Amino acid sequence: MDPIIPPKKTAWRSFLIVILIIFLVEVILMGAFRLFLESDNIWIDVILDAGLLAFFQFPSLYYFMVRPLQREIEGHRLAENELRKAKELLEIANGEIQKSLEREQVLARTDGLTGLYNYRHFFELASREFSASQRYQRPLAIIIFDTDRFKQVNDTLGHLAGDKMLVKVAETVAGQMRSVDVLARYGGDEFIILLPETSAQQAFHIAERIRSVVAATPMGNIDTGQFFITLSIGVAEIWSDPLDHGIEQIVHRADQALYAAKQAGRDRVMIFQPG
């Protein structure tokens, strides 16, 4: 593409060219015509003068003024197209970055195997809910459960079958949750549930429903064959006397209740009892 000449420079050059053409036509060409072709008819002089000016001036104006302006307009149009394309590419890149950030945020708070919340994000949510429960003196309960004889499943059917079983358990339990409940993977084959506005007795009934539904749900696939598993579940609630100072205390009591359920024979729900 030809170089773009600035408009001010184009105007000055065109002006000088026109003056030069007028000078050449009037002084040289018309002078030569009058020298060799003497004529007393003024109209012939006027017509010839105008014709010669038009013949030389119009092409010069086009080449030195109109054409550079056309190039300038075309250059601006191309620049605008490039800017528009760059803007579109930037918007696409920003969209991809935003999606990538959202994916990273999701990965940072979810468990890679089950898709549930992970341990860290669960405690962030639970800590906020604990503070609200204490401030407004509302009930709050925690359920912790794990699968009975999970090691036996891994040893006999393999770790892949064990992982698929955990995914199935997570899906089954998630189907029993209320919209306000928070289910997360606690670690290994242990899961934890935060139940706002829920007492220990209310949480006990929810836990019993979870235990019975999971016990009736077939696990496995064509390769491993169907099998059934049971859950041991511990329940605890927030205390005001003595006053709990963090969600960790409730979790600890629920974990102790889970241990008591294991000791009592597995496949059962136990509420933490002090002493």
Catalytic residue annotation: 189
Rounded to 10°, the helix 119-136/67-109 angle is 70
27-32, long-range: CB within 8 Å, 24+ apart, which pairs? none
Cα–Cα distance, 196 to 82 (Å, whole number): 55
Q: What are phi and psi of 266, to 5 degrees?
A: 70, 175
Cα–Cα distance, 156 to 174 (Å, whole number): 27
**Partners of residue 44 on adjacent β-strands:** none
- Structure tokens given for 173: 């339990």
Determine the longest span between alpha carbons in the chain, in angstroms.
136
What is the Cα gyration radius of the chain? 44
Report which secondary-structure segment, H or E, holds 191.
strand 190-196
Q: Taking phi first (over 0 means left), then psi (-120 to 50 degrees means alpha), and beta for anything else, what does residue 148 get?
A: beta
Respond yes or no on whether the N-terminal peptide bond of residue 242 is cis (omega within 30° of 0). Answer: yes
